[in-house]
Amino acid sequence: MPQRKLIPPGHGDGLCLSRGQHLRLIDPEGGQSGDLFAVSLDGRQRLSNGRTFDFGGTVYLSAGNQLWSDQSEPLLTIVADEVGRHDFLYAPCNDDMYRKQYGLTNHRNCFSSLTEALRTLGVAPLPLPTAFNFFMNVDIDANGKLHIRAPKSRAGASMVLRAELDLAIALSACPASTCNGGGATKPLAYEVF
Ligand SMILES: [Zn+2]
């Protein structure tokens, strides 16, 4: 059994994946979304939502889809997905967002969690464009308006991604209640195998 590591609510963690290894992202309690950012270990390639849309042709990514780099190579392949809805449009929540939209200062945020995790791994934290917002549920209506809904992930639900290169991965359990059904922020967990 792979070891399960917990990401506390509103915090992050970093890990390295060798090519061919799998990462399972788990929502232990249900209804919690997270951020994933990936950089190739040689530092040459960073996750890109635009390239992912170029090659995948969809904003709704699930099993069979790949997450691509800014150098047009696949970084990760989604090999299993019990949730089926994730977002790759929104930037990581950060200080500016909490201050300008909610009047909150010194709020935990995914941008800080992700950059701290990358620094811990010895990877340049910037630029940090859009992360893959796993379990985050965003509907796009016919007018193009975005609607953030409660995550579809039930307690214990997971998805599995396979590394296509040696990667540094940063994860964050998002502290934005809007992205988590309006309730308190909950933990996430992961396993490497
Ligand atoms: Zn966030």
Distance 145 CA to ligand 1 centre (A): 20
Distance 10 CA to ligand 1 centre (A): 8
Q: What is the pLDDT, as a whole number, of residue 113?
A: 97
Q: How far apart are CA 111 and CA 175, in angstroms?
A: 11
Instruction: Give yes or no for residue 174 having a pLDDT over 90.
Output: yes
Q: What is the pLDDT, as a whole number, of residue 137?
A: 97
Instruction: Give yes or no for residue 15 having a pLDDT over 90.
Output: yes
Q: How far apart are CA 32 and CA 34, in angstroms?
A: 7
Q: What is the pLDDT, as a whole number, of residue 18?
A: 98
Instruction: Give yes or no for residue 188 having a pLDDT over 90.
Output: yes
Q: Is the pTM of this model over 0.85?
A: yes
Q: What average pLDDT does range 20-26 have in this prediction? A: 98
Distance 100 CA to ligand 1 centre (A): 15
Q: What is the pLDDT, as a whole number, of residue 165?
A: 98
Band the pLDDT of 178: cuts 50, 70, 90: confident
Distance 36 CA to ligand 1 centre (A): 10
Distance 101 CA to ligand 1 centre (A): 14
Average pLDDT, the chain: 96
* Cβ-contact 35, 132 below 8 angstroms: yes
Q: What average pLDDT does range 170-174 have in this prediction? A: 97
Distance 175 CA to ligand 1 centre (A): 5
Average the pLDDT over each of 43-57, 113-127, 173-187 and give the range with the smallest value: 173-187
Q: What average pLDDT does range 138-156 have in this prediction? A: 96
Distance 112 CA to ligand 1 centre (A): 9
Instruction: Give yes or no for residue 48 having a pLDDT over 90.
Output: yes
Q: How far apart are CA 70 and CA 51, in angstroms?
A: 6
Instruction: Give yes or no for residue 35 having a pLDDT over 90.
Output: yes
Distance 178 CA to ligand 1 centre (A): 10
Distance 167 CA to ligand 1 centre (A): 22
Looking at the chain, the whole-number percentage of residues with pLDDT higher than 70 is 100
Nearest alpha carbon to residue 192 among 18, 33, 48, 40: 18
Distance 132 CA to ligand 1 centre (A): 11
Band the pLDDT of 158: cuts 50, 70, 90: very high
Q: What is the pLDDT, as a whole number, of residue 14?
A: 98
Q: What average pLDDT does range 87-115 have in this prediction? A: 92
Q: Which residue has the higher pLDDT, 97 or 189?
A: 189
